[in-house]
Structure 1
Amino acid sequence: MARGAQRHRGARSRPQRRPRHDNDGIIPVLAKVVREVESAVQHGRASSSTRTSFQVVALLMREERARVRAEEATPAARRAEELKRLDGIATILATTAARDTTLLGLLGEDAVISERARSLRRELLEAAGIEVPDEPDELAGPVGRSTPEETPGAEERGVVPQSVASRQLANPFLPPDYSVAAKRTAKPRRLAGWELIQPLLRAFEDGGALSCMDLPSPATTRVVGGRELMPHQAGLVAAAAAGHRTFLLADEPGLGKTAQALLAAQVADAYPLLVVVPNVVKRNWAHEAELWTPDHPATVVYGDGDTIDGFADIIIVNYEVLDRHVGWLRELGLRGMVVDEAHYIKNRKSQRSQHVLQLSERIRARTAEPLLMALTGTPLINDIEDFTAIWQFLGWIDESKPVGELMAALEEIGLTPGDRGFSAAARAAVVDRGIVRRRKVDVAADLPARRVADVPVEIDGEAGRSIRAAEQRLARRLLARYERALELRDVVEGEGVDHALVRQVAARERANKTAKSSEENVFGVMRRIGQAKAGLAADYAAQLARSAGKVVFFAKHIDVMDAAEETFTRRGIRFASIRGGQTSSVRQKNIEAFTGDPDVAVAVCSLTAAGVGINLQVASNMVLAELSWTDAEQTQAIDRVHRIGQDEPVTAWRIVAARTLDTRIAELIDSKAGLAARALDGADEDVADSSDVQLEALVTLLEDALEERVSSRAS
């Protein structure tokens, strides 16, 4: 009775199984089909129907094993016999997969269950005398995703920001794009039945010429707003303007991949454009969009997206929060997608990769000729297996084979993987789909010998709140002193801001010994910012080390260096530490480790202890994790890399905390650098020192506080 009741309760979610003898039920049916699969593979006939049978047998075998183990009312001897027979089926599946390892992909977590597989499952269950509900269950086991758009847990975490809902209400119907349905590619003929993915990968592993498609000569290097592109950047934008729509942009760091992607989207009219990035560069993308494509507003997604502009043309989201936004992004009518640091999606089984691939497939299904760009500085000849996920994102391949234009290009070669010459021709066919790779040394004439590039980062959470609170306390103290000074002067406050008095108050704050001993002064605030940036700066340096080789990491404070070194240790990146307090022999040993050992990827340097007197030109990229108070100190650090013996242009990546005093300090350093240059060129101005920047930073804080108070009173 209990067993019958148990069956009744499960009738809605499970096929109902009738009483059966040893030769009845699902096991004999599975045994028969698995023998057919084994025979077909042994004779080299692993057709699509054979692959479907292999997948369905494996899944039903898992279901039956789970059912048998859970059936406590069945005698133990009977359960043991059934499990033994299921083990026999599993053994045949394993030996068959050993003959054709591509079958293993059908059992992965990201494998797709086709309609044919669902139909075969129903047929086998009915052949076994098992009643199948009208609406079949999801297939059980690790493989159970019916379409690439379904991700376990995504619906529970999914959100729809209010501004996005407003956009959907404003334009609830997307215009149909019939050109998607009209576009067809010929079915493979010569290459039907060949396994092609591995030969394509081996074509790149074998080396050869630099992987870069032919790019058209640009008609102009000038863009909207009067900004000037470097010639190599303009070439890619010209290719997009000419109609090319998929790019694996693998330029070395420092060659302006962000600007190229944004301008390619503009000439392709690929809006709305989704940009998926690591958290550390999210703010930088918004900054670059404002510079290069000011007519197309960008919005940055934080958390649940409560602050985003739902009507923006460019949506910037980081990998970590993409899962909760996949739902509304699928329905937004995206016409373009950029994936920055695309090696983040190398593991196709990871959740972040699945979300990216789902969105890409959705865009390609709805839009003819969408713009799809994968950006990474990692050379193609390293970890080439990782690039299959990128090729799939771009629509060049699916889970098992080339598709679309790539397949047509391979057919046009007229060869098979067994023919001599196929490898080189196949490599060229892949490159022509949109691989663009330039090195600094190749475009050195386009680049300044030395440049400083700001990387804005957003400091979230408790660290961000702490910094903003410290800045507010400092501003309130300055404001209170200003108001006391006004009272002593018997000045009517409504007469406007006394800028001379503002500077006097700021100068007194800078000179105050009590303030200097407090954490709530300008030095303390900047130290807090440096500590909060440490992990983000180290993450950025780690990305550079992976994609560009050796990197020099500069910081002012020991705790920032310590935090960076902990990050490198966790990520398995070897580093050499050059800091104060080291003996000369230890210091020299660490310098030689960085310059001589190819496995030591990062030199973690003190800005004061290593800013002069050492040669680190083995690297051409450096990260300035904390800001200097003068351009001279910053320049001295850069000159550890930019010196005689350096073969490549040098890029100093300056990490700047957005929406904090850090941003103003960076602007002041740059303005004082121009003043110093004019003075050295013979002008009458004095060269600025660190106290100038400190004073101007305090002046900025006080003036902002006064403006905010005036605005609040007016409202």
Structure 2
Amino acid sequence: MSLPLTEEQRKKIEVNRQKALARRAEKLLEQHQNAGSGSSITTHPSQSKPGAFQNLPRDPSKPVSHGVIFKQQNPSSSSPGDQRPHNPHSVHVSTSEQAEGMWKRQEEMSTACPHHSPPSQMPLTGISPPLAQSPPGVSIPQLSGYELGQSHPQASHGTKSTPFANTTHESLAKAKSSQDTPASSSGQLPKDPELETTAAKPSTSGQNISDVHYGSGQVTPRTEGRLQQKLGASLPKAVSSQEGICVRNGDRFQVQIGYNAELIAVFKSLPSRRFDPATKTWNFSMNDYSALMRAAQRLRTVALQPLEGASSVAQTSLPSASSLRFVKGQCMLISRARFEADINYSEELITLFKQMDSGNYDVKTRKWNFLLEDHNKLIERARCLPQVQLSPLPKTLTLAFASQMEKTSLCPTADIPEADLSRVDPKLVSSLLPFQRAGVNFAIAKGGRLLLADDMGLGKTVQAICIAAFYRKEWPLLVVVPSSVRFTWEQAFLQWLPSLSPDQINVVVTGKDRLTTGLVNIVSFDLLSKLEKQLKTPFKVVIVDESHFLKNIKTARCRAAMPLLKVAKRVILLSGTPAMSRPSELYTQVIAVKPTFFPQFHSFGLRYCDAKRHAWGWDYSGSSNLGELKLLLEEAVMLRRLKSDVLSQLPAKQRKMVVVIPGRISAKLRASLDVAAKEMTTKNQSKGQQREALLLFFNRTAEAKIPSVIEYILDLLESGKEKFLVFAHHKMVLDAITNELERKKVQYIRIDGSTSSADRESLCQQFQLSERHAVAVLSITAANMGLTFSSANLVVFAELFWNPGVLMQAEDRVHRIGQLSSVGIHYLVARGTADDYIWPLIQEKMKVLGEAGVSEGNFSEMTETTDYVHKCLPFL
């Protein structure tokens, strides 16, 4: 069984068949004329009537074109181009007899060719009376249905019309276009100077049947495009045509229409074509407008509306882009109360700007700016200027600044109302610094949905816990964090919310753990993507620490987190560096807080990422309108304070205990840790035996902490931390850190016991002055004095040490003269290791030194966490 033909195959067969029929009809007519012995039917010049059909003798040496043309003869003189002698055998016939003879000839030619069922016909109107007479056996309605490229009305039963009929229809269309003139009303056709002049020129050989016609007794070329244009203006499109529209876009225009294979082929033939995959539309230069419209009018399946202001493309060409002096621009937000028009010079537009009451010209930027309340009025008036296209502010901005657009008396720095925190634990509320309390007020004023982007060390964790506690009635709470700080968050909740018990906090450690068993559920980004089946029950309150981890929407962590954030009632995002390098990284965080802002990334990219289209697609790696983006984020999404903004409220040092869990260690090492821990609990040991057991435990701890330490350092680098110090004691830990930094291609310096004095100073200056070196890997005992690293403001202790005085000296490598910021100090403490004994010991010794007045104060009170173990070693 054969497969049915496609539409393109059927069209191709039809075209080939028409060409064959044309050649056959031409040959038959030539044979018929040769058999006529040179005689023809014509009218005597003295008795001819306007509009009469003429069948002229031809030169056998020249090709023949099968067509007629309506030509008004001059009764007093013959055409100057007619050099042939008058045929004495010519006879005089009436107009109706001429038409009858023509129809008979067509019927003879039509019956010689096979025919298929004719296509749908459309009536022709406005035919002059002499032409409206029906041929023998053909009614006027049948004649009216005779259309260009269609079959003879009588040839529907096994016959097919020839190209001769097409030329006849061109003549009918010519008569139609003149129906409103006096000549047509009286049965006469008007004189066409262009066609008459063309007809006077002798024809050349090799012309196609559709390119020549008879007139004044000789074959002449037809004026190119003349009849096609008039036919296109007189004949309507098919009923089943596909409709589209042309829309101007600056110096180009866009075609908005559904898919059409024929039209796509036309698009691809134009040199200025461009396809936009984002909008799935084609656009072109204004220079190709006329060519496109002419080609589209030849397609029966397409009805393309012209550009606004272009009434008839076939008859008049559109002015070039340069002659239009078209200007295009956009409105941009410059403050919470004003916007500016970023557009080229236009005299009409400047006149409009001067008419606006709030208009103000900035001599520095050379741009006009206005109050937001005049935005809609300005855009409405600018649309009345035909050569101006001023794009309004995006809908996102008009929604975010709706109050300013309605009322300009709003103070740009309106105070956020004070939130009622009576339902939050008093210990937490009393511990908030003034700027932290302001952050909580901002979040509650925004309905618990915000991006808290405070600088590192400003207490984002404590603010987030306070905000979440305000909505405690909507718990259970989900906290999504990097895996290296899961247990740090657990300790923070226990410290700041005493009303919580440890059993109410669920830390997800493996993919087999339940996500919803606790009142507070803490999970890492990586594990969240593996717990998709447990995410069907949404959380109403969600905290995301280091939310810049969601910057790439294609990652598994982002795909898992975004659905949760969009349906949650309260979303608290935390990040000291929301965007690492470009504005596109902000998009996922913006829509997580405000899902209605920029539903499509493309619109965000065009506005703020300087989107550019290349052969391979769109490039969103740039940046644009950053001032406007900052205003939008600060108004509706983000709260950000730098250390320099609140330095007077910060302590000189901010210590933080980071709880880590030894992971990915071998079974042998795990067993040795268990043995060392058991040895520490053995009773009846001397002080020497206890010291020896703790030293062994300390060595085993160093090896066990390496994976967690490296993970934390990499998290800091990914968070955008520029420079920081890492202190460690054991050589194996220093080696592991530097090896990982080399593998990640992170530049660093290292100073340990093997570094010479000259090299120490050289490396120190290299770190201080170079922006490329991000990490200084230092030995606690070899680099705790005599060095200055004030270019950094963060110190990480990968290991603890017995003597707290040594730790204090190491801290002061950063906290020195020249330091302009508060210093952050992070102590990594591992559970189930020797740190369980050493950390409480350090706190106790610092307390004693503080009471004696030889230390800066209580070490425990200055550390942002609680003591989760209380061991006592009297021998140290």
Structure 1 CA distance for aligned equivalents of residues 812 and 800 of structure 2: 16
**SS of residue matched to 2:521:** strand
- Out of 534, 546, 549, the residue aligned to residue 341 of structure 1 is 546
Offset of 1:437 from its aligned partner? 0.9
Taking a change above 3 Å as real, the CA distance of residues 95 and 639 of structure 1, as seen in their structure-2 partners, is farther
In the alignment, structure 1 residue 655 sits paired with structure 2 residue 828? yes
Partner secondary structure for residue 264 of structure 1: helix
Which residue does the alignment assign to 1:253?
456
CA distance in 2, matches of 1:245, 1:225: 20
Look up the match of 1:180: none
1:319 to 2:525 alignment:
yes
Q: Which residue does 1:299 correspond to in 2?
A: 506
Change (3 A) 1:401 1:537: closer
Equivalent residue number for residue 409 of structure 1:
none
Mapping 1:392-471, distance limit 5 Å: 392-394=591-593, 395=595, 396-400=597-601, 427-463=630-666, 468-471=670-673
Note if 1:473 corresponds to 2:648.
no
State whether residues 539 and 567 of structure 1, in contact with CA within 8 Å, keep that contact through their aligned partners in structure 2. Answer: no
Contact 1:272 1:314 in 2 (8 A): yes
The answer as to 2:830 corresponding to 1:623 is: no
The match for 2:439 among 216, 228, 236 is 236
Counterpart of 1:288 in structure 2: which amino acid? Answer: A
1:272 is aligned to 2:476: yes
Distance 2:797 2:241 in 1: 63
1:581 maps onto 2:754 in alignment: yes
2:709 to 506, 520, 534: 534
Which amino acid is 1:284 matched to? T
Matched, 1:554 2:727: yes
Greater Rg by CA: 2
After TM superposition, the score normalised by the length of structure 2 is 0.49
Q: What amino acid does structure 1 have at the position aligned with 2:533? A: G
* Larger displacement relative to structure 2 (223-232 or 594-603): 223-232
Is 1:646 matched with 2:850? no
Q: Superposition pairs for residues 103-502 of structure 1, below 5 Å?
A: 103=279, 215-216=416-417, 224=425, 226-227=427-428, 228-269=431-472, 270-295=474-499, 297-306=504-513, 308=514, 310-329=516-535, 331-363=536-568, 370-378=569-577, 382-394=581-593, 395=595, 396-400=597-601, 427-463=630-666, 468-477=670-679, 482=683, 501=684
Cα separation, 2, equivalents of 1:680 and 1:332: 55
SS at match of 2:765: helix
Asked if 1 retains the 8 angstrom alpha-carbon contact of 2:476 and 2:521, the reply is: yes
Amino acid at match of 1:279: S
The letter of the residue matching 1:348 is I
CA deviations on 1:222-245 (whole Å, 9 max, x unpaired) are 951524111111112223344533
Structure 1 position 197, deviation (Å): 10
Higher relative contact order (CA 8 A, sep 6+): 1
Residue 573 of structure 1: how far off its partner (Å): 2.7
Q: Is the 8 A contact 1:243 1:268 kept in 2?
A: no
CA distance in 2, matches of 1:94, 1:355: 45
Q: After TM superposition, give the deviation of residue 449 of structure 1 in Å.
A: 0.7
**Alignment CA distance shift 1:235-1:698 (3 Å):** closer
Task: State the shift of 1:101 in Å.
Answer: 6.6
Q: 1:699 to 1:675 in 2, by over 3 A?
A: closer
Kindly provide the CA deviation profile for residues 26-53 of structure 1, in whole angstroms up to 9, marking residues without a partner as x.
xxxxxx9999799998997879x87xx6
Higher helix share: 1
Q: Aligned with 2:480: secondary structure?
A: strand
Do the aligned partners of residues 197 and 430 (structure 1) sit closer, same or farther apart at CA in structure 2, a change above 3 Å counting?
Answer: farther
Moved more, 661-670 or 275-284: 661-670
Contact 1:213/1:432 (<8 A) preserved: no
Tell me the CA shift for residue 525 of structure 1: 2.4
Q: Which amino acid aligns with 1:386?
A: E
Deviates more, 1:663-672 or 1:587-596: 663-672
1:532-556 deviation line (CA, Å, top 9, x unaligned): 4331232244246x14x32111111
Q: Contact conserved, 1:237 with 1:267, CA < 8 A, in 2? A: no
Q: Secondary structure at the match of 2:845?
A: helix
Give the aligned length: 489
Report the alpha carbon displacement of residue 610 of structure 1 after superposing the two structures with TM. Answer: 0.9
SS of 2:523 mapped into structure 1:
strand
Could you tell me how far apart the structure 2 residues matched to 1:438 and 1:634 are? Answer: 30
User: Separation in 2 of the partners of 1:278 and 1:256?
Assistant: 17
Given residue 229 of structure 1, which amino acid in structure 2 is its aligned partner? L
Equivalent positions of 1:505-524 (< 5 A) are: 505=685, 507-510=687-690, 521-524=696-699
Q: Distance in 2 between matches of 1:318 and 1:525?
A: 27
Change in CA separation of 1:382 and 1:511 when aligned onto 2, cut-off 3 Å: closer
Q: 1:42 to 1:235 in 2, by over 3 A?
A: closer
Rate the CA distance shift 1:34–1:229 in 2: closer, same or farther, 3 A: farther
Q: Secondary structure at the match of 2:427?
A: coil
- Counterparts of 2:663 and 2:637 in 1: how far apart (Å)? 36
The structural deviation recorded for 1:623 is: 0.8
Choose which of 612, 621, 624 in structure 1 pairs with 2:785. 612
532-541 or 250-259, larger mean C-alpha shift: 532-541
Q: Tell me, which stretches of 5 or more residues in structure 1 are unaligned?
A: 5-16, 26-31, 62-84, 106-187, 201-210, 364-369, 407-420, 483-500, 683-695, 702-715
Deviation at 1:212, TM superposition (A): 11
Measure how far apart 1:627 and its partner are: 1.0
What TM-score comes out, normalization by structure 1 length? 0.59
Does the 8 A contact of 2:660 with 2:828 survive in 1? Answer: yes
1:36 and 1:43 map into 2 onto residues whose CA distance is: 20
Cα–Cα, structure 1 residues 577 and 197, in superposed 2: closer, same or farther, change >3 Å? farther
Deviations 1:472-527 (A, max 9, x none): 21244456x64xxxxxxxxxxxxxxxxxx4xxx15132455xx69xxx82232232
**Match for residue 147 of structure 1?**
none
Asked whether the 8 Å contact 1:283–1:300 carries over to 2, the reply is: yes
Q: Secondary structure at the match of 1:441?
A: coil
CA-to-aligned-CA distance 1:91-133 (integer Å, 9 cap, x gap): 899997x66474599xxxxxxxxxxxxxxxxxxxxxxxxxxxx
Would the aligned equivalents of 2:656 and 2:827 in 1 still touch at CA under 8 Å? Answer: yes
Deviation at 1:584, TM superposition (A): 2.8
CA distance in structure 1 between the partners assigned to 2:823 and 2:807 by the alignment: 14
Q: In structure 2, the residue corresponding to 1:632 is in which secondary structure?
A: helix
How far is the alpha carbon of 1:279 from its aligned partner? 1.0
Who is 2:285 aligned against? Answer: none
8 Å CA contact 1:624, 1:655 repeated in 2: yes
Greater strand proportion: 2
User: Post-superposition shift, 1:255?
Assistant: 0.9
State the secondary structure of the residue aligned to 1:260.
helix
Q: 1: CA distance between counterparts of 2:242 and 2:778?
A: 62
Query: How far off its partner does 1:471 sit?
Result: 3.0
Q: 1:477 to 1:289 in 2, by over 3 A?
A: closer
Residues 703 and 732 of structure 2 are in contact (CA less than 8 Å); yes or no, is this contact kept in structure 1?
no
Q: Which amino acid aligns with 1:397?
A: F
**Distance in 1 separating the partners of 2:784 and 2:486:** 29
Q: Could you tell me whether the CA contact under 8 Å between 1:240 and 1:268 is conserved in 2?
A: no
Unaligned runs of 5+ in 2: 12-239, 282-375, 381-389, 399-411, 608-623, 856-869
